[in-house]
Amino acid sequence: MKVIVGKEALRKILKWAQRVLLVCGILLIGYCGFALTDAWLFQRRAARDLDRLQRDRRAAGLVTPQTVSVTLPKAMRAAEGSLIGRIEIPRLALSVVVVEGVDRISLRRAVGHIPGTALPGEDGNVGLAGHRDTLFRQLKDVKIDDEIQVSTPASNFKYQVVSLRIVDPENVGVLAPSGENVLTLVTCYPFYFVGPAPKRWIVRARQVSSQAVPPPDVK
């Protein structure tokens, strides 16, 4: 059966389709603007909170010796969305707050600490994840031997990039416990892929130093 649509009806259909697409476009742009603004505000607020916690710790003289390494009981693990610290890659001018968890809201606002991996300051493999098109976009330019800094309220840690890999999403072995203190950064790959990216970009770095947040100056 052949369906014939008149010119007037076709014009109305096209006009309504145009309006629908325009509204969808406006809503999409609005959501992107909201997400970027929300992430920016969260990063500023969380960065101030981290700086305040470090100042409070210095003022109280609560410093942890460089040689101490701990493993927290599960009951003492950070709650989802809580502040963990900050990751910085000086050469790439990357400085991003890290929170606990990799849920949708946490990764929209910050880099997420992957549950089940070590926390900064613990022995083992610290896993951090971030979106390739926002906070972890600079990882496309990372190089072997780049320095990575991770700051927490108690300590500062330095890492050196030792390997770059592309793996399948099912390859969770990159997050397996390690006999040495390492940092594993995870983001989607390729960086310019449209839609859900099929691979994962893995940056592995080895800890080279740790330093307690310094005590207050004695005058």
Q: Which domains does the chain have, with CATH numbers?
A: 1-219 (2.40.260.10)
How far is residue 209's CA from residue 212's CA, in Å, rounded to a whole number?
A: 10
pLDDT of residue 157: 95
Q: Which parts of the chain fold into alpha helices (H)?
A: 7-60, 104-109
* One pLDDT digit (tens) per residue for the chain, 219 residues: 555 556 777 777 777 777 777 777 776 676 566 567 878 898 999 999 998 988 887 777 655 444 334 444 443 467 888 999 999 999 999 999 999 999 999 999 999 999 999 999 899 999 999 999 999 999 999 999 999 999 999 889 999 999 999 999 999 999 999 999 999 999 999 999 988 999 999 999 999 987 765 544 433
In the Cβ-directed half-sphere of 171, how many Cα atoms lie within 13 Å? 13
Spell out where the chain has E strands. 83-89, 94-100, 111-113, 125-129, 147-151, 155-167, 182-189, 199-212
